[in-house]
């Protein structure tokens, strides 16, 4: 992979990179369109990263359809130059972790004595280096998924070192992830420009996600409450309601009424993700909620 | 810096890198000689990294002599192509940390409520991304210097991303550091080959260190006990004494007798740095000890 990037760079070409976990939808394809605006060549990675799942999460049921993905990528206007589909990024040839890149949960690796581990945790010569973006990783999704952002930042660092792109595009649907990657790139001096791409929604307003496939028809209908209530909150804010407690309560109420279970509903500063009580500067309203066994996230930027 | 590296790479040149904190001695110069064996071009960085010091450590008294360093580098056989001497690698233009790259200790930043911080810790938009090599960073020097290896791994990641070398040379005097950097490079897929270079000693056997300048004549004499006792232990092991408790006791006794205060004396596996009770496979005997106000480290590999 790196050899290709270096040979292209030697010819003066610029390289855009879109990391994905596969099961591609319109949201992913919009990231490719965004990448095409910035660079001559495009690399897409398709890799379900075990490092960002804890053993009690949905790694083994995470949807995948590699040949379907390839078909979609071949239809992208402007094309894709490389699909990077590594088998296992954590197999260093001398450890037991990450044997098959999937279904890595072992009995002994579940949460134990309060120490939360990821699916690639191992002893001895296994992977043990983690990139921590220590403040940004803590709030929101980091509360219920304590190894998640550690795993995301680490695999993105690995992928950046392997692909060596000039530009990388991330979706703003994963808002906290996007901010964490930007901060990591700044703090570790990666030679990569990180671009955030807007959320893509289905015609009914649901933010596109690979996990949507697991929703029943009823759950999907319920899940529309997220975007509807966020849009209402944005409207209310623009009309002068800047009290975050009020705005949050109305969204929590609406999602709860619809049958969802809130994980968090927070209004935070756009760059630092610090909670705010009153909207004075640009904020983002971030939501995570469960519908049945599916956890969805969504968000809306509010810049008055 | 990166532009230079990329222009050289585009010409097919290979780049060797020797990161230092300056105040160069024969030990550093031996790293350059080692680098010259592997690459056509050599970059040396001179940067005292505040990120690896905690506020109660010796950042403000760490010796420096940049023009003396330049003179030494100009005399190196084969030469040096770039001296990279950044002012401050943690100033992102919007934070209060790392104002002058030195003397960053602020009253409010000392160890507080048991949370150990480094000299670049800050709130808000400051540096917050740390590379953790989670098992290797814990033992030996990591016990008494809890932010040290986090800071070292992080600044080396930054420097690798800025310099983009093909090969980097580290001294095996900082044995744990060398192993941590190798592990980080493997785990994060850096495109850098890490070479370990042998310890350089003064004619009296003392391992070269920038900190040696702080030793009084008497302390220096006392400090010779480290190398003497390590050499004896190696001899004893080669003659059949493989009991680590015995070997450690004799070294601890000798250093203590000489007037040193032991921080740690451990016999560990060479790659994983796990303590061993009996020497069966290649090990390294690692020592840290105080002589007056100066903390010295040294080690000796023992491969029976």
Kindly compute the dihedral angle of the four CA atoms of residues B61, B296, B139, B192, in this order, to the nearest 10 degrees.
80
pLDDT of residue A123: 72
Is pLDDT at A101 greater than 50 in this prediction? no
pLDDT of residue B57: 87
- Mind listing the pLDDT tens digit for each residue in A271-295? 999 999 999 999 999 999 999 999 9
What rounded mean pLDDT belongs to chain B?
92
The enclosing H or E element of A270 equals none
| Span(s) in chain A for CATH 3.40.50.620 | 2-197
A109-113, A140-144, B236-240: segment of lowest average pLDDT = A109-113
Q: What is the pLDDT of residue B304?
A: 85
Domain with CATH 3.30.1300.10 in chain B: 210-302
Q: What ipTM was predicted for this assembly?
A: 0.92
pLDDT, residue A114, reads 60
Of A2, A92, A189, the CB nearest to B191: A2
- What is residue A122's predicted lDDT score, i.e. its pLDDT? 75
Residues B149-163: tens digit of each pLDDT: 999 999 999 999 999
Position A95 confidence tier, pLDDT thresholds 50, 70, 90: low
Give just the sign of the alpha carbon dihedral B178, B184, B186, B189. negative
Residues of chain B that touch chain A, judged by Cβ-Cβ distance less than 8 Å: 2, 6, 9-10, 89, 92, 124-125, 127-136, 153-154, 157-158, 161-162, 164, 183-184, 186-191, 271-272
- Could you give the CA distance from residue B184 to residue B169 in angstroms, rounded to a whole number? 14
Give the C-alpha separation, B128 to A272, whole Å. Answer: 11
Residue B101 has pLDDT above 50, yes or no: no
pLDDT (tens digit per residue) in A242-273: 999 999 999 999 999 999 999 999 999 999 99
Query: Which residues from chain A sit within 8 angstroms of residue B135, using beta carbons?
Result: 128
In angstroms, the CA A225 to CA A220 distance is: 9
Q: At what angle do helices B2-10 and B148-163 cross, to 10 degrees?
A: 50
Write the pLDDT tens digit of every residue in B249-284.
Answer: 999 999 999 999 999 999 999 999 999 999 999 999
Q: How many CA atoms lie within 13 A of B249 on its CB side?
A: 7
Chain A residues with beta carbon closer than 8 angstroms to that of B183: 128-129
Q: Of all residues in chain A, what percent carry a pLDDT higher than 70?
A: 93
CA B181 to chain centre: 10
DSSP, residue by residue, B173-212: TSHHHHHHHHHHHHHTT-S-EEEEE---B-TTSPBP-GGG
* Closest Cα in chain B, distance from residue A184 (Å): 6
Q: Which of A2, A129, A162 sits opposite B183 (nearest CB)?
A: A129
Query: How far B191 CA lies from chain A's nearest CA (Å)?
Result: 7
Q: Does the domain spanning B210-302 belong to CATH 3.30.1300.10?
A: yes
pLDDT of residue A26: 94
Active site residues of A: 28
The residue with greater pLDDT, B59 or A162, is A162
Give residue B94's pLDDT.
Answer: 67
Residue by residue, DSSP assigns A32-94 as HHHHHTT-SEEEEEE---GGG--TTSSTTT----HHHHHHHHHTSTT--SEEE--S-TT--SS
- pLDDT at residue B115 greater than cutoff 80: no
Q: How large is the average pLDDT for residues B215-229?
A: 98
CATH number attached to the domain at A210-299: 3.30.1300.10
Instruction: Check whether B296 has a pLDDT greater than 70.
Output: yes
Q: Which helix (H) or strand (E) holds B163?
A: helix B148-163
**Looking at the predicted structure, is the pLDDT value of residue A102 above 50?**
no
Instruction: For residue A135, give the H/E element and its range.
Output: none
The CATH class, in words, for A2-197 is alpha beta
> Between β-strands B167-171 and B129-133, what pairing exists: parallel, antiparallel or unpaired?
unpaired
B25 is catalytic: no
Do B89 and B47 meet the contact criterion of CB atoms below 8 Å apart? yes
Name the residue of chain A whose CA is nearest to B136's CA: A128
Pairwise CA distance, residues A40 & A33, whole Å:
12
Report CB contact under 8 Å: A135, B128: yes
The pLDDT value given to residue A124 = 74
Nearest CB neighbour to B129, from listed A92, A184, A272: A184
Does position A111 have pLDDT exceeding 90, yes or no? no
Residues B46 and B18: their CA atoms lie apart, in Å, by 9
Catalytic residue, from B28, B36, B127, B214: name it.
B28
pLDDT digit string, tens, across residues A15-64: 999 999 999 999 999 999 999 999 999 999 999 999 999 998 889 889 99
pLDDT at residue A107, as a whole number? 36
d(CA A12, CA A10): 5
Out of A143-147, B72-76, B97-101, B103-107, least confident range = B103-107
Interhelix angle for B244-258 vs B217-238, to 10°? 160
Give me the mean pLDDT over the A149-157 stretch. Answer: 98
Q: State yes or no: pLDDT of B117 exceeds 70.
A: yes
CB B298 within 8 A of CB B227: yes
Question: Comparing B118 with B190, which gets the higher pLDDT?
Answer: B190
**Residue A108 above 50 pLDDT?**
no
């Amino acid at each position: 992979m790196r050899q290709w990037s270096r040979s292209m760079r030697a010819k003066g070409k610029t390289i855009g990179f879109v990391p994905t976990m596969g099961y591609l939808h319109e949201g992913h394809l919009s990231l490719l369109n965004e990448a095409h605006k910035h660079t001559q060549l495009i690399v897409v990675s398709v890799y379900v990263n075990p490092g960002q799942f804890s053993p009690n999460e949905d790694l083994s049921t995470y949807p995948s359809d590699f040949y379907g993905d390839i078909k979609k990528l071949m239809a992208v206007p402007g094309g894709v130059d490389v699909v990077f589909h590594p088998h296992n990024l954590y197999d260093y040839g001398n450890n037991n972790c990450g044997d098959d890149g999937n279904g890595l949960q072992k009995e002994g690796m579940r949460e134990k004595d309060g120490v939360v581990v990821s699916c690639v945790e191992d002893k001895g010569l296994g992977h043990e280096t983690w990139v921590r973006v220590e403040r940004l990783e803590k709030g929101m999704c980091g509360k219920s998924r304590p190894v998640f952002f550690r795993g995301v930042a680490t695999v993105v660092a690995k992928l950046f070192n392997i692909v060596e792109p000039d530009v990388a595009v991330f979706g703003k649907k994963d808002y906290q992830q996007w901010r964490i990657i930007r901060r990591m790139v700044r703090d570790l001096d990666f030679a990569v420009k990180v671009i955030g791409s807007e959320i893509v929604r289905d015609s009914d307003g649901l933010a596109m996600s690979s996990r949507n496939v697991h929703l029943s028809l009823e759950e999907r209908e319920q899940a529309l409450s997220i975007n509807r209530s966020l849009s209402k909150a944005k409207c209310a804010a623009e009309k002068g309601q800047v009290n975050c407690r009020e705005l949050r309560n109305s969204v929590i109420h609406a999602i709860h009424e619809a049958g969802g279970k809130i994980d968090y509903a927070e209004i935070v500063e756009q760059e630092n993700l610090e909670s705010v009580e009153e909207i004075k500067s640009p904020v983002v309203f971030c939501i995570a909620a469960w519908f049945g066994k599916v956890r969805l996230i969504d968000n809306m930027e509010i810049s008055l």
